[in-house]
């Protein structure tokens, strides 16, 4: 059994879940037995929307072995402090993979580190038949704990963008956001909108990659504490990166209406990711 633990929260959002679902969905097509572990009930509900039918909720990274058994394999996508638990996992489990925290991250024990440049985009976004609708979609991310949008209302009022709400947005907050955007879309519309929008502006690097694969013109707003992938990696794939909320740069991009050239994002090879020692 392969267990996949994705760390999510109302502060972190769901980026790790989204890329985890991409890998789990692929493994399912190959007949590999998998189980998703999450530390948040809402993440489990969203996982079902992403095609992952079953999940188990645990407290956090230190509780993976409450579910996984000796001889199983685990994949860890988390920035949590494991408080030395990783040592035990490497001893008890057949194989332990974990995603790198930064470019300097190296294996500490016998685990296998999945590189920071490993891009996981679900196969559904490679659908070339999806029709585009001329509109600019804005998706900050699934969480806005610090109320970034509301704190920068002058910036957002300058642009005619439709807002895709995050799964962790509160109802009262949504009411306030309705004053800044022409249209609000529910989180359940995520996949359809990422596929169908001609232009996507986002502070989620996972979303930026998915939108690029789906054929959109993409702007990634690089904001503090939100970077799952490096801006340099996104730029290499032809995604425009704007540092912070720079209205002049965003206005220039939207008026230019030209997609940047870059490397093509290919479908990932799960065998190259889950390498055995």
pLDDT band at 260 (very low <50, low <70, confident <90, very high): confident
**60 falls within a domain:** yes
Grade residue 56 by pLDDT with cuts at 50, 70 and 90: very high
Q: Are residues 139 and 251 in the same domain?
A: yes
pTM of the model: 0.95
User: Cα(126)–Cα(212) distance, rounded to whole angstroms?
Assistant: 10
In terms of domains, do 219 and 94 share one?
no
Confidence grade of residue 218 (pLDDT, cut at 50, 70, 90): very high
97 plus 137 within the same structural domain: no
Report whether pLDDT(80) > 90: yes
In total, how many domains does the chain have?
2
pLDDT at 175: 87
| DSSP 8-state symbol, 130 | P
Domain-located, residue 263: no
- Residue-level pLDDT at 261: 82
pLDDT tens track for 137-178: 999 999 999 999 999 999 999 999 999 999 999 888 888 999
pLDDT of 129 higher than 90? no
Tell me, what CATH number does 70's domain have?
Answer: 3.40.50
What confidence score (pLDDT) does residue 128 get? Answer: 80
- Do 33 and 92 fall within a single domain? yes
103 falls in which pLDDT band (50, 70, 90)? confident
The single residue listed with the structure tokens 């939100």 is 226
Q: What is the pLDDT of residue 154?
A: 96
Instruction: Tell me the average pLDDT of the chain.
Output: 94
d(CA 91, CA 70): 9
- Does some domain include residue 18? yes
Check whether residue 112 and residue 215 sit in a common domain: no
Please indicate, yes or no, whether residues 213 and 234 belong to a single structural domain of this protein.
Answer: yes
The residue range of the domain holding 194 is 123-256
Q: Residue 240 belongs to a domain with what CATH number?
A: 3.40.50.2000
Average pLDDT rounded to a whole number, residues 32-59: 95
Instruction: Clarify whether residues 16 and 66 are in a common domain.
Output: yes
**DSSP code per residue over 197-266:** EEEEEES-HHHHHHHHHTT-EEEEEE-TT--SS-HHHHHHTT-EEEES--HHHHHHHHHH--PPP-PPPP
* Among candidate residues 101, 116, 131, the one where a domain is terminated: 116
62 inside domain:
yes
């Amino acid at each position: 059994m392969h267990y996949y633990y994705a760390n999510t929260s109302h502060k972190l959002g769901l980026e790790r879940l989204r890329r985890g679902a991409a890998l789990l969905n692929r493994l399912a097509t190959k007949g590999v037995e998998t189980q998703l572990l999450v530390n948040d009930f809402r993440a489990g509900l969203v996982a079902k929307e992403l095609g992952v039918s079953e999940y188990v909720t645990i407290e956090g990274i230190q509780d993976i072995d409450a579910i996984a058994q000796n001889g199983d394999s685990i994949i860890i996508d988390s920035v949590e402090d494991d408080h030395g638990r990783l040592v035990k996992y490497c001893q008890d489990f057949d194989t332990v993979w974990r995603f790198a925290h930064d470019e300097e991250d190296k294996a500490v024990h016998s685990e296998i580190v999945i590189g920071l440049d490993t891009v996981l985009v679900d196969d559904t976004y490679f659908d070339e038949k999806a029709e585009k609708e001329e509109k600019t979609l804005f998706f900050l991310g699934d969480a806005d704990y610090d109320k970034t949008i509301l704190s920068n209302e002058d910036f957002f009022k300058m642009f005619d963008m439709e807002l895709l709400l995050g799964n962790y947005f509160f109802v009262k907050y949504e009411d306030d956001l309705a004053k800044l955007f022409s249209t609000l879309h529910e989180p359940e519309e995520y996949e359809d909108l990422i596929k169908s929008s001609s232009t996507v502006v986002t502070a989620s690097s996972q979303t930026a990659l998915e939108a690029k694969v789906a054929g959109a013109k993409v702007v990634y707003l690089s904001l503090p504490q939100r970077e799952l992938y490096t801006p340099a990696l996104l730029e290499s794939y032809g995604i425009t990166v704007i540092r912070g909320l720079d209205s002049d740069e965003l206005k220039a991009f939207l008026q230019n209406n030209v997609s940047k050239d870059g490397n093509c994002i290919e479908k990932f090879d799960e065998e190259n990711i889950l390498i055995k020692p």
